[in-house]
Amino acid sequence: MRLSDYFLPTLKENPSEAQIVSHRLMLRAGMVRQSSAGIYSWLPMGLRVLRKVEGIVRDEMDAAGCQEILMPAIQPAELWQESGRYEDYGKEMLRITDRHERAMLFGPTHEEVVTDIFRSSVRSYRDLPKNLYQIQWKFRDEVRPRFGVMRGREFFMKDNYSFDLDYAGALRSYNRMFVAYLRTFARLGLTPIPMQADSGAIGGDLSHEFIVLAETGESAVYCDRAWLETDPLELEIDYDADLQPIVDRWTQLYAATDDKHDPATCKVAPDRLFEGRGIEVGHIFYFGTKYSASMGAVVRDENGKDTAVEMGSYGIGVSRLVGAIIEASHDDAGIVWPEAVAPFRVGMINLRSGDEACDRACEALYGALAQADVAVLYDDRDERAGVKFAEMDLIGLPWQIVVGPRGVKTGSVELKERGSGEREELSSEAVLARLT
RNA sequence: CGGAGUGUAGCUCAGCCUGGUAGAGCACCGUCUUCGGGAGGCGGGGGUCGGUGGUUCGAAUCCACUCACUCCGACCA
DSSP conformation letters of A165-186: SSHHHHHHHHHHHHHHHHHHHH
Whole-number Å distance between alpha carbons of A167 and A310: 6
Assembly ipTM: 0.93
Residue A140 pLDDT level (bands cut at 50, 70, 90) = very high
**What's the rounded mean pLDDT across residues A132-150?**
92
Residue A339 contacts by C-beta under 8 Å, 6 or more apart in sequence?
A189, A345, A398
Q: Is the pLDDT of residue A355 over 90?
A: yes
Residues forming CATH 3.40.50.800 domain(s) in chain A: 346-435
A143: the nucleotide nearest its CA (via C1') is: B1
Return positions of chain B under 7 A from a protein CB. Answer: 1-2, 6, 11-13, 25-27, 34-39, 68-77
Report the predicted TM-score, pTM, of the whole model to 2 decimal places: 0.95
Taking only the tens place, the pLDDT of each residue in A38-50 is: 999 999 999 999 9
Residue A87 pLDDT level (bands cut at 50, 70, 90) = confident
**Does domain A21-335 match CATH 3.30.930.10?**
yes
Nearest C-alpha neighbor of A290 from the set A200, A180, A194: A200
Mean pLDDT over each residue of chain A, to the nearest integer: 92
Taking only the tens place, the pLDDT of each residue in A7-43 is: 999 999 998 888 889 999 999 999 999 988 899 999 9
Superfamily of domain A346-435: Anticodon-binding domain (3.40.50.800)
Nearest-CA residue to the C1' of B70? A17
State, as a whole number of angstroms, the distance between the CA of A326 and the C1' of B70.
21
Q: What is the pLDDT of residue A176?
A: 96
Residues forming CATH 3.30.930.10 domain(s) in chain A: 21-335
Highest mean pLDDT among A208-217, A270-279, A400-409: A400-409
In this structure, the number of other CB atoms found within 10 A of the CB of residue A129 comes to: 17
Residue A262 contacts by C-beta under 8 Å, 6 or more apart in sequence?
none
Distance from chain centroid for Cα A69: 19
> With left for phi above 0 and alpha for psi between -120 and 50, is residue A304 left, alpha or beta?
left
C-beta of residue A114 within 8 angstroms of C-beta of residue A297? no
**What's the rounded mean pLDDT across residues A52-60?**
98
Q: Rg of chain A's alpha carbons, rounded to an integer?
A: 24
Q: Is the pLDDT of residue A347 over 80?
A: yes
Residue A259 pLDDT level (bands cut at 50, 70, 90) = confident
Residue percentage of chain A with pLDDT more than 90:
77
Compute the Cα dihedral for A145, A150, A154, A157 and give only its sign. negative
Residue A372 contacts by C-beta under 8 Å, 6 or more apart in sequence?
A432, A435, A436
Q: What is the pLDDT of residue A260?
A: 76
Whole-number Å distance between alpha carbons of A136 and A155: 8
Taking only the tens place, the pLDDT of each residue in A179-200 is: 999 999 999 999 999 988 765 5
3-state secondary structure of A87: helix
- Which helix H or strand E contains A62, and what residues bound it? helix A44-63
Taking only the tens place, the pLDDT of each residue in A399-430 is: 999 999 999 999 999 999 999 999 999 999 99
State, as a whole number of angstroms, the distance between the CA of A94 and the C1' of B50.
26
Q: Is the pLDDT of residue A264 over 60?
A: yes
Q: Is the pLDDT of residue A137 over 80?
A: yes
Taking only the tens place, the pLDDT of each residue in A245-255 is: 999 888 888 88
Q: Is the pLDDT of residue A202 over 80?
A: no
State, as a whole number of angstroms, the distance between the CA of A3 and the C1' of B26.
22
Taking only the tens place, the pLDDT of each residue in A318-340 is: 999 999 999 999 999 999 999 99
